[in-house]
Chains A and B, each alone.
Chain A
Amino acid sequence: MPRTVIEVHQLSKAYQIGQIGTGTISRDLERFVVTKILRRDDPFLKVGEVNDRTVKSDSDIVWSLRDINFDVQEGNAVGIIGKNGAGKSTLLKLLSRVTAPTTGEIRIKGRIASLLEVGTGFHPELTGRENIYLNGAILGMRKKEIDRKIDEIIAFSGCERYIDTPVKRYSSGMTVRLAFAVAAHLEPEILVVDEVLAVGDAEFQKKAIGKMQDISKGEGRTVLFVSHDMTAIHALTDSVIILKNGECSDRMPTDEGIQQYLASNLSQSSGKLIRKSDGDLYVERFLINSDEVNYTQIPSGDPLRMQFFLNKPITAQEASSLAFYVVFRNELNYPVFTVSNRYDAHAQVSDSGQVQSIECLVPAMALAEGKYTAKTWMAFKGGFCDEITDAFEVDVLASNFYHTGQMPIARKHGAFLLNQNWTLK
């Protein structure tokens, strides 16, 4: 059994929110007297409450993290997911010793390095090479170590030509490349990473994800990875922890965790439609395969009929300036495909002179098994007028689409099912 390298035990962190300033001296004195001289519990921590960003409260102490417990074994790649303010960054800050916990403890085996932000401590006046040394030392490398790896780092960054130019002349992308290159060559036993991949171009992101995969899977190091990007979480981690209002879930396999996380987000938005309207015209209600629902299941390859009803009729003439889009996204929130009346050369407008409903028929939902969330977007007379995010969800079920009994898996093979002809000669 792999040995435990991180043990987080009853970890909590309280923050004082609001203004820090007036009254701090008297409060500090009171706190000092109570805790150090009378040796009682800290009076200012008792009033703390669960950290829910959206609920206003009188207390100005919040628990950003409360009684967090988990273990990580050697070689694990663990994702930490959660909404803004759920405590992810706080947890990373504690792990990387930027700030100390209020109570509880973390035990660590081996060297831990954290990349809360790449390029920390870069000095604009210094050259790329000088900054590699500086940044490497800040991250805990010895000079000898950097000497040994410098060529590799420069090659990885792809900034050879500029390496003796001051960093202030670099583009922001180049700075990030250089910084990530340093970080990637740290070789700690435990690496803590916070959304560093959100920057840089596509080629570099791929390189960065590849390097992180090498670190966790190839070299058997332990990686903790925080991100909102479910694709990256999926690519890099084998299990996840969900943080919610400062409390943490058990560790679970990545697939299960992502689904649970996305589902918990969905359930909060169901019931009322989240919409942005910018005009008098909007979608009042809609039918999916003739039912007024926001969730439907259909076998792969079956038709999907969507009917959207406007709040008021418009004339057939006005209808020519109406653009209606439905964007389908997969579980990782990546767009899969979009349908629109603008993509149909033969889109029909009723003869009655009035239009109040918009109808779209997709003859075959040729998609791999999975959940697809639809967003509607409407423009009228040249301007945006209505949008419903997460309008409805289509759960495509596995079927015998190809009549071969074979079905691709969305996550591995992509979402689309296309008809195809093969010849084996």
Chain B
Amino acid sequence: MSQNTRPHNDNEAWDLIIKGKQGIFALHLKDLWRYRDLLFMFVKRDFVSFYKQTILGPLWFFIQPLFTTLVFTFVFGNLAGISADGLPHQLFYLCGITAWNYFADCLTKTSTVFKDNTNIFGKVYFPRLIMPLSIVVSNLVRFGVQLLLLIAMMGYFSLYPMPNTSFQLTEGIFLFPFLVVLMALLGLGLGLIITAITTKYKDLTFLVTFGVQLMMYATSVIYPLSYIQPEYKKWIAWNPMTTIIEAFRYAFLGKGEFTTYSLLYTTGVTFVVLFLGILIFNKTERTFVDTI
């Protein structure tokens, strides 16, 4: 059927060729760059619309981690008596929650990107990848704000130290930018895979909401990795997020268990997931409007 029946000059410079089939590696990254302004418009939109018509405005960014920390301190620290590795409990949880939240937000929000944007995607073309990328950047802003809370709390605890606890900023802080990028990309990659699959099979949507919650318990957010018995430890260590959280905690508070090897492992997993995610997403975006 694709036999050419009409003469046309292939040497002509066409700016755009829309074809039925295209290679899986045709990623249109140039387009992505051309639409970079749009990415920041989306980020701005998310940020502005978040606090419009609220009294507390951006303060809401603080409230969720603050209350979660208080509840965790009470339940896991006081009632269950789980170790905090010699750190003040509040700091221990806040540190884990801040990092985990960023990853979890990136994952859950990108995992519904097709579903949430069917309307706009069905009307106009722009590189679809802009949308998940804008989510990652929007959440980065939020993460930055929440980080301020952590720093404020660290300031408080160094002025009024809790008995039998100590913490300090370490040289691991230089890893911080790298850790943030890893979290963002891992969340993004997983989210892309999930959103692509959910355009056809909705089942996964249900899994994500509670799956992310359960995954938090399989990551060393509410307990230090060093606290785990060796036979379980290797399982928890398989989780790439564990290394990130541990390294994050080491950077800010001076306690955490990770090695160069585990960091390399996490980096490897992240890039494989991200690569797969982009490929699947790219393949799905071309026709998802027809199936969603």
Interface residues of chain A, those whose CB is within 8 Å of chain B, are: 7, 9-10, 12, 15-16, 20, 24-25, 28, 67, 69, 93-112, 114, 116-117, 120-121, 123, 125-126, 130, 133-134, 137-143, 166
Contact = CB atoms under 8 A, between A and B. Distances in A.
A346 to B, nearest CB: 57
Contacts of B15: 108-111
Given A100-B18, A134-B42, 16 more contacts: A7-B14, A12-B1, A98-B121, A99-B289, A104-B19, A105-B17, A106-B16, A108-B16, A108-B18, A109-B12, A111-B15, A112-B16, A125-B49, A130-B44, A137-B35, A137-B37
Given A101-B19, A126-B48, A117 B123 contact: yes
A96 B125 contact: yes
B20 A98 contact: no
B37 A142 contact: yes
A98 B120 contact: no
11 contacts: A9-B6, A10-B1, A10-B2, A12-B1, A98-B122, A100-B22, A105-B17, A110-B15, A126-B49, A141-B37, A143-B41
Contacts, number: 125
Interface of B: 1-2, 4-6, 8, 12-22, 34-35, 37-38, 41-42, 44-45, 48-49, 52-53, 119-126, 200-201, 286-287, 289-291
A125 B47 CA distance: 11
Given A9-B8, A125-B52, A126-B45, A100 B123 contact: no
Contact of B20 (A95, A96, A105, A123): A105
A106 B17 contact: yes
A167 to B, nearest CB: 11
B120 A138 contact: yes
B35 to A, nearest CB: 7
A111 B15 CA distance: 8
A105 B18 contact: yes
Nearest to B13: A109
Contacts of A24: 200-201
B124 A116 contact: yes
Contacts of B34: 140
B6 A25 contact: no
Contacts of A117: 123
B45 A98 contact: no
Nearest to A110: B15
B123 A20 contact: no
A25 to B, nearest CB: 7
A9, A100, A101: which has the most chain B beta carbons within 10 Å? A100
Contacts of B286: 99-100
Contacts of B19: 100-101, 104-105
Contacts of A102: 20
A99 B52 contact: no
Contacts of B21: 103
Nearest to B39: A137
B291 A140 contact: no
A324 to B, nearest CB: 46
A139 to B, nearest CB: 6
B290 A138 contact: no
Contact of A137 (B20, B41, B291): B41
Contacts of A140: 34-35, 126
A111 B34 CA distance: 12
A269 B92 CA distance: 77
A114 B44 CA distance: 24
A20 B20 contact: no
Given A100-B18, A100-B286, A103-B2, A123 B45 contact: yes
B257 to A, nearest CB: 41
B123 A98 contact: yes
A198 B290 CA distance: 25
B38 A130 contact: no
A25 B201 contact: yes
B125 A98 contact: yes
Contacts of A133: 41
Nearest to B124: A120
Nearest to A96: B125
A96 B2 CA distance: 22
Contacts of A93: 122, 289
A106 B45 CA distance: 34
B20 A103 contact: yes
A113 to B, nearest CB: 9
Nearest to A146: B37
B204 to A, nearest CB: 12
B18 A106 contact: yes
A96 B126 CA distance: 10
B49 A138 contact: no
Contacts of B1: 10, 12, 67, 103
B41 A134 contact: yes
Given A7-B8, A100-B287, A120-B120, A114 B125 contact: yes
Contact of B49 (A106, A108, A123): A123
B17 A107 contact: yes
A101 B8 contact: no
B13, B38, B48, B52: which has the most chain A beta carbons within 10 Å? B38
A20 B119 CA distance: 19
A313 B16 CA distance: 69
B131 to A, nearest CB: 10
Contacts of A110: 15
A20 B41 contact: no
Contacts of B35: 137, 140
Contact of A98 (B5, B53, B124): B124
